[in-house]
C-alpha cells in the first residue's frame, strides 16, 4: 500500500495556501467567490465551447472543494444546494449538453458506488457489473413499450406512472441477479472470480442480443426504442413560476434531479452500511477470509449480501437510464462499460465513497467531454495549418490519452485520487486538528 | 460436565494420519496445554475443534452440544474462539475495528435499522464500542485503538488477536502458539495475560505452546501429542517425568539432525 503524504500544514506553499483557504473567514470567502464566479461565468457563457467546458469542470470541482474544506456543515450544504440545486439546472435550461453531462456523471457515480460495495468493501473483483445495469434497463424497456406485446401476445405496456415502482422492482431484480452471480462464485477468489464475473457479464449481453427468438424478449441487436418516460408532474408548477420550458428541457431537468436524489440516497445507504457490522464484516472478509470466519462471520451470507447490494443499485439505475435514453441496445452494456466503471472506482480511491464519486465524475467528464474537446481543438489546429500530419486524426486517439492517464495514475498514485482516510473517520473522537497517527 | 469433549478424533490427509484417535476432555475454567514436537498434529487438532476440518472419525461435544459438522462460523458463534499460529489480524482495519469484527456474532441490528440508523442501532453500536474499548484496556491497547493493525509491534498484534477473540464473549479460547516469536520479556507478559483471561474473565483456555517454561507454569493439565497420537496426559509433574514424552522430544531433535 502506498502511504498518504504526511499532513503537514506548515510546509510548502501549496499546503499553506490550502490550509488558509479551506477554513476560517478566508475559507468562507474563497468558497463563496468560487461559487459566484464560476456560476456567473457559466450562465453568461452558455454556448458549448472550450471556455465553457473549462468553467464547467471548475464548477464541478467546487463540490470537491466544499467537501474538503473545513467550514461549517450548514454552509457546505447551503453552497452545494445552490450549486447543484439551482445554478446547474438553470444553466441546463440554457444549454442542455452540460446538464446531460452532469446527469451521466451522476449515473456513473451511483454505479461506481454500487461496484465499490463489491470490489472496494468486500474485495470481490467483479468484471461483469454492467450486467445488472442491463437487467434494470431491459426490465423497464420491455414493460413500458410494445415489446411486452412481442413477448406475451396481447399484453399491453404498463403506464408511464409505473416508472417509480419499476425503480424499486429494478432494485430488487438487480439484487436477485446479484445473488445469482454470487452463488456459483462463492468459493472463488481473485483472478478466478474476475474471469467468472467477466463471463457472467458477457452472458447477459449475449442473451440480450439473442433473446429475440424463439420468443422475442429483448428485440435482439436492434434494441428497444420509444421507451416510456414518467409523467412530468411538476411542469405546471414550473410554468406558474415563469419558466417556459419545452418537454425536452423539462425531462433534462427531471432526470438530473432524479439522478441527484438517487446519488444522495446511494451515498447515504452505502456509507451507513460501511460503518456497520455488515460493512465491517465485508472488510474483514476482504482482509482475511479465514480469520473472518473464525470471528463467526457467515461467509456465504455476507458475500451474497455484498453482491446483492452492489447489484441492486445498478438495477435501479438501469431503469432510470433506459427511460432517460429512450433507446437501448446490447452494445450499451459491453465489457468496456464494466471496465470503465471499475476504473472509476480504482482511480477515485477503492473503498472510499467520496473518492469513488470523484472518480466517476472525472472519468465521465474525460470520456464524454474533455477528451473529445481536446481532439476537436487539435483538429481545428491542424486545419489552421499546424504541422500535424494529414493522416493523423486526433479523434482516433482519445482512448489512447485515456489509457495513458490511467497508466500514469496507477504509477504515481496507485491508491487513487481520494484514498480512504482512516484517521478522519474514527468514530468517537472527532478532534478538529488533523493529528497524524503514525501510519508506518 | 466438561466444557469440551473430543472423542476418538482421527484425521487422515492422503496417506498421513495427522491426528490418530485422540480423546481430550477439557473442564470448565482450566488452562490446558497441548504440546508435542513439530508436525505432531496439534494445529490440525485445533482446526478440527474449530470446524475448519471435519474429522474422519470421532466427534466433538462443546458445552453439551455436538459441533462436529458445523461450519467454523457457527462454532465461533457458540462461544469457541481462537488465535492463529501466524497472526491473522485484519491488517488494514484499525485496532478498534478488529475488535468490533470480533463482536460480529453479538450484533444483531437488522438491515433496515442500519439504513435508518435509528435509536436501537446507535445504542447497539455505542455499546459495542464501549465493550471493545474495555477489552482493549484489558489487553493494554486502548491508547492505540486508532492505529491500523498492521502498524502494531509484534507483541501488540498478538494481544490484539486475543482481544478480538475475547470480543465474542467466548467460553473457550484456543491459543495457537501465543508466544511464538516473542522475546523473554514479552513471553512473561503474555503468560500473565493468559492467566488473567481465566482469572478475570472466566474463560477456559487451551493453548498450543513450545515454550516449556510457560507451559509448566500456567497449565493445570497438559496433553502431549506425537505423530498424531496422544502419548501422555496429566499435570506438569507427570509430564516432566514421563519417559515417552522425553523420548518424543529427544527423538525429534535427533531426527532433525539426521
A281 at interface of B, judged by CB pairs closer than 8 A: yes
Domains of chain B: 1-79+170-258 (3.40.50.300), 89-169 (no CATH)
Say if the Cβ atoms of B76 and A426 lie within 8 Å. Answer: no
Could you tell me if A416 and A349 are in contact, meaning their C-beta atoms sit under 8 angstroms apart? yes
Please count the other Cβ atoms lying within 10 Å of the Cβ belonging to residue A226.
13
Distance from CA of A305 to the nearest CA of B (A): 10
Listed as ranges, residues in chain B with pLDDT below 70 are 251-258
The answer for residues whose C-beta is within 8 angstroms of residue A215's C-beta and 6 or more apart is A151
Copy the grid coordinates of residue B53. 476440518
pLDDT at A246: 86
Residues in chain B with CB shorter than 8 Å from the CB of A440 are 151
Copy the grid coordinates of residue B60. 466433538
Count of helix runs (H) and strand runs (E) in chain A: 19, 0
Say if the Cβ atoms of B90 and A290 lie within 8 Å. Answer: no
Share of chain A above pLDDT 70, in %: 93
Say if the Cβ atoms of B76 and A296 lie within 8 Å. Answer: yes
Q: pLDDT digit string (tens) for A77-122?
A: 999 999 999 999 999 889 999 999 999 999 999 999 999 999 999 9
Residues in chain B with CB shorter than 8 Å from the CB of A294 are 50, 72-73, 76, 81-82, 84, 88
Mark which residues 261-280 of A lie under 8 Å from B by CB. Answer: 268-269, 272-273, 276-278, 280
Q: pLDDT digit string (tens) for B76-86?
A: 999 999 999 99
Residues in chain B with CB shorter than 8 Å from the CB of A429 are 146
Provide mean pLDDT across the span A251-264: 95
Distance from CA of A244 to the nearest CA of B (A): 39
pLDDT at A375: 85
Residue in chain B closest to A295 (alpha carbons) equals B102
Tell me the CATH architecture of domain A96-381+392-412.
Answer: Orthogonal Bundle (1.10)
Could you tell me if A362 and A348 are in contact, meaning their C-beta atoms sit under 8 angstroms apart? yes
Residues in chain A with CB shorter than 8 Å from the CB of B104 are 277, 280-281, 284, 295-297
Provide mean pLDDT across the span A34-42: 92
pLDDT for residue A10 is more than 70: no
A2 DSSP 8-state letter? P
HEC string of chain B?
Answer: CCCEEEEEEEEEECCEEEEEEEEEEECCCCEEEEECCCCCCHHHHHHHHCCCCCCCEEEEEECCEECCCCCHHHHHHCCEEECCCCCCCCCCCEHHHHHHHHCHHHCCCCHHHHHHCCHHHHHHHHHHHHHHHHHHHHHCCHHHCCCEHHHCCHHHHHHHHHHHHHCCCCCEEEEECCCCCCCHHHHHHHHHHHHHHHHHHCCEEEEECCCHHHHHHHCCEEEEEECCEEEEEECHHHHHCCHHHHHHHHHHHHHHHC
Copy the grid coordinates of residue A53. 467546458
Nearest one of A326, A366, A320 to A343, comparing CA atoms = A366
Residue in chain B closest to A1 (alpha carbons) equals B92
Provide mean pLDDT across the span A3-24: 63
Nearest one of A320, A436, A370, A354 to A76, comparing CA atoms = A354
A331 DSSP 8-state letter? G
pLDDT at B241: 86
Please count the other Cβ atoms lying within 10 Å of the Cβ belonging to residue A276.
22
Residue in chain B closest to A275 (alpha carbons) equals B114
A283 at interface of B, judged by CB pairs closer than 8 A: yes
CA gap A98, A89 in Å, rounded = 9
What ipTM was estimated for this complex? Answer: 0.92
Say if the Cβ atoms of B89 and A280 lie within 8 Å. Answer: no
Q: What angle do CA A317, A318, A320 make, to 5 degrees?
A: 65
Say if the Cβ atoms of B115 and A269 lie within 8 Å. Answer: yes
Place of cell 445488472: A132
Distance from CA of A191 to the nearest CA of B (A): 21
Q: pLDDT digit string (tens) for A324-376?
A: 999 999 999 999 999 999 999 999 989 899 999 999 999 999 988 888 888 88
State the DSSP string of A262-312. Answer: HHHHHHHHHHHHHTSHHHHHHHHHHH-HHHHHHTT--HHHHHHHHHHHHHH
Please list the residues that pair with B94 across neighbouring strands.
B148
Residues in chain B with CB shorter than 8 Å from the CB of A288 are 88-91
Say if the Cβ atoms of B109 and A281 lie within 8 Å. Answer: no
Could you tell me if A160 and A231 are in contact, meaning their C-beta atoms sit under 8 angstroms apart? yes
CA gap B256, A413 in Å, rounded = 48
Residue in chain B closest to A426 (alpha carbons) equals B146
Say if the Cβ atoms of A284 and B82 lie within 8 Å. Answer: no
Q: Which of B102, B146, B147 sits opposite A295 (nearest CB)?
A: B102
Kindly tell me the burial class for residue A225, based on how many C-beta atoms sit within 10 Å of its own C-beta (0-12, 13-18, 19 or more): middle
Q: Which of A296, A423, A440 sits opposite B105 (nearest CB)?
A: A296
Could you tell me if A163 and A251 are in contact, meaning their C-beta atoms sit under 8 angstroms apart? no
Angle between helices A277-287 and B95-102 (to 10 degrees): 110
Distance from CA of B158 to the nearest CA of A (A): 14
Residue in chain A closest to B79 (alpha carbons) equals A296
User: End-to-end CA distance of chain A, in Å?
Assistant: 11
Copy the grid coordinates of residue A406. 490511467
β-strands B57-62, B65-66: how paired?
antiparallel
Q: pLDDT digit string (tens) for A269-287?
A: 999 999 999 999 999 999 9
Count CB pairs under 8 A between chains A and B: 109
A194 at interface of B, judged by CB pairs closer than 8 A: no
Confidence of residue A422 (pLDDT cuts 50, 70, 90): low
> Is the preceding omega at residue A179 within 30 degrees of 0, hence cis?
no
Q: How confident is the prediction for chain A on average, in pLDDT?
A: 87
Share of chain A above pLDDT 90, in %: 58
SS3 A224: strand
pLDDT at A395: 76
CA gap A109, A88 in Å, rounded = 17
Say if the Cβ atoms of A293 and B89 lie within 8 Å. Answer: no
Nearest one of A210, A189, A421, A143 to A303, comparing CA atoms = A189
A109 at interface of B, judged by CB pairs closer than 8 A: no
Nearest one of A51, A81, A55, A122 to A278, comparing CA atoms = A122
- Mutation site for B-interface testing, chosen from A282, A295, A304 by largest number of B Cβ within 10 Å: A295
Burial call B119-130: b when 16+ CB within 10 Å, e when fewer: eebeebbeebbe
Residues in chain B with CB shorter than 8 Å from the CB of A422 are 94, 146, 148
Say if the Cβ atoms of A281 and B96 lie within 8 Å. Answer: no
Confidence of residue A427 (pLDDT cuts 50, 70, 90): very low
CA distances from A77 to A66, A193, A297 (A): 9, 40, 38
Across the beta sheet with B229-234, the strand order is B80-82, B172-176, B204-208, B31-35, B221-226, B229-234
- Mutation site for A-interface testing, chosen from B48, B73, B92 by largest number of A Cβ within 10 Å: B73
Amino acid at each position: 500500500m502506498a502511504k498518504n503524504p504526511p499532513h503537514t500544514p506548515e510546509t510548502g506553499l501549496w499546503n499553506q495556501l490550502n490550509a488558509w483557504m479551506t477554513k476560517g473567514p478566508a475559507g468562507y470567502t474563497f468558497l463563496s467567490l468560487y461559487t459566484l464566479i464560476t456560476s456567473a461565468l457559466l450562465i453568461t457563457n452558455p454556448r458549448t465551447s472550450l471556455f465553457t467546458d473549462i468553467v464547467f469542470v471548475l464548477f464541478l470541482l467546487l463540490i470537491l472543494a466544499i467537501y474538503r474544506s473545513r467550514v461549517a456543515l450548514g454552509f457546505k450544504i447551503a453552497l452545494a444546494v445552490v450549486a447543484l440545486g439551482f445554478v446547474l439546472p438553470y444553466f441546463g435550461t440554457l444549454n442542455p449538453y452540460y446538464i446531460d453531462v452532469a446527469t451521466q456523471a451522476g449515473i456513473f457515480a451511483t454505479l461506481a458506488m454500487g461496484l465499490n460495495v463489491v470490489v472496494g468493501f468486500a474485495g470481490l473483483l467483479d468484471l461483469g457489473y454492467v450486467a445488472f445495469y442491463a437487467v434494470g434497463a431491459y426490465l423497464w424497456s420491455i414493460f413500458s413499450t410494445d415489446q411486452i406485446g412481442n413477448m406475451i401476445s396481447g399484453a399491453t405496456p404498463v403506464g408511464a406512472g409505473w416508472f417509480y415502482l419499476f425503480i424499486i422492482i429494478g432494485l430488487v431484480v438487480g439484487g436477485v441477479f446479484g445473488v445469482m452471480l454470487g452463488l456459483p462464485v462463492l468459493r472463488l477468489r481473485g483472478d478466478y472470480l474476475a474471469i467468472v464475473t467477466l463471463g457472467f457479464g458477457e452472458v447477459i449481453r449475449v442473451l440480450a442480443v439473442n433473446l429475440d427468438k424463439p420468443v422475442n424478449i429483448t428485440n435482439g441487436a436492434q434494441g428497444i426504442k420509444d421507451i416510456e418516460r414518467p409523467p412530468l408532474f411538476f411542469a405546471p408548477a414550473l410554468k406558474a413560476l415563469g419558466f417556459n420550458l419545452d418537454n425536452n428541457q423539462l425531462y433534462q431537468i427531471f432526470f438530473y434531479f432524479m439522478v441527484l436524489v438517487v446519488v444522495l440516497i446511494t451515498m447515504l445507504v452505502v456509507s451507513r452500511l460501511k460503518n456497520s457490522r455488515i460493512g465491517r464484516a465485508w472488510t474483514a472478509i476482504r482482509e482475511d477470509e479465514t480469520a473472518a470466519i473464525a470471528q463467526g462471520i457467515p461467509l456465504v451470507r455476507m458475500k451474497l449480501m455484498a453482491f446483492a447490494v452492489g447489484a441492486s443499485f445498478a438495477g435501479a439505475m438501469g431503469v432510470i437510464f433506459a427511460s432517460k435514453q429512450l433507446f437501448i441496445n446490447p452494445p450499451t452494456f459491453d465489457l468496456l462499460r464494466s471496465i470503465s466503471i471499475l476504473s472509476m472506482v480504482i482511480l477515485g480511491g477503492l473503498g472510499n465513497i467520496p473518492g469513488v464519486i470523484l472518480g466517476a465524475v472525472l472519468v465521465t467528464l474525460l470520456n464524454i467531454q474533455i477528451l473529445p474537446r481536446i481532439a476537436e481543438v487539435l483538429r481545428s489546429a491542424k486545419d489552421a495549418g499546424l504541422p500535424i500530419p494529414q493522416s493523423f486524426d486526433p479523434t482516433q486517439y482519445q482512448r489512447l490519452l485515456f489509457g495513458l492517464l490511467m497508466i500514469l495514475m496507477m504509477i504515481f498514485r496507485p491508491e487513487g485520487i481520494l484514498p480512504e482516510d482512516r484517521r478522519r473517520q474514527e468514530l468517537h473522537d472527532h478532534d478538529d486538528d488533523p493529528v497524524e497517527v503514525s501510519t508506518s | 460436565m466438561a466444557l469440551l469433549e473430543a472423542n476418538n478424533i482421527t484425521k487422515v490427509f492422503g496417506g498421513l494420519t495427522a491426528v490418530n484417535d485422540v480423546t481430550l476432555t477439557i473442564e470448565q475454567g482450566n488452562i490446558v496445554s497441548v504440546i508435542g514436537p513439530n508436525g505432531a498434529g496439534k494445529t490440525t487438532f485445533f482446526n478440527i475443534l474449530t470446524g475448519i476440518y471435519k474429522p474422519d472419525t470421532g466427534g466433538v461435544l462443546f458445552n453439551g452440544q455436538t459441533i462436529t459438522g458445523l461450519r467454523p462460523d457457527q462454532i465461533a458463534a457458540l462461544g469457541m474462539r481462537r488465535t492463529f499460529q501466524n497472526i491473522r489480524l485484519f491488517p488494514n482495519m484499525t485496532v478498534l475495528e478488529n475488535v468490533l469484527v470480533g463482536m460480529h456474532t453479538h450484533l444483531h441490528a437488522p438491515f433496515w435499522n442500519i439504513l435508518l440508523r435509528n435509536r436501537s442501532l446507535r445504542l447497539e453500536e455505542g455499546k459495542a464500542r464501549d465493550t471493545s474499548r474495555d477489552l482493549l484496556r484489558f489487553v493494554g491497547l486502548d491508547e492505540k485503538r486508532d492505529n491500523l493493525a498492521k502498524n502494531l509491534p509484534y507483541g501488540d498484534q498478538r494481544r490484539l488477536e486475543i482481544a478480538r477473540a475475547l470480543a465474542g464473549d467466548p467460553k473457550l479460547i484456543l491459543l495457537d502458539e501465543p508466544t511464538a516469536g516473542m522475546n523473554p520479556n514479552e513471553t512473561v507478559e503474555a503468560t500473565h495475560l493468559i492467566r488473567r483471561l481465566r482469572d478475570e474473565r472466566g474463560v477456559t483456555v487451551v493453548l498450543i505452546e513450545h515454550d516449556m517454561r510457560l507451559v509448566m507454569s500456567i497449565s493445570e493439565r497438559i496433553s502431549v501429542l506425537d505423530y498424531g497420537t496422544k502419548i501422555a496426559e496429566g499435570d506438569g509433574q507427570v509430564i516432566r517425568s514421563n519417559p515417552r514424552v522425553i523420548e518424543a522430544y529427544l527423538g525429534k531433535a535427533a531426527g532433525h539432525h539426521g
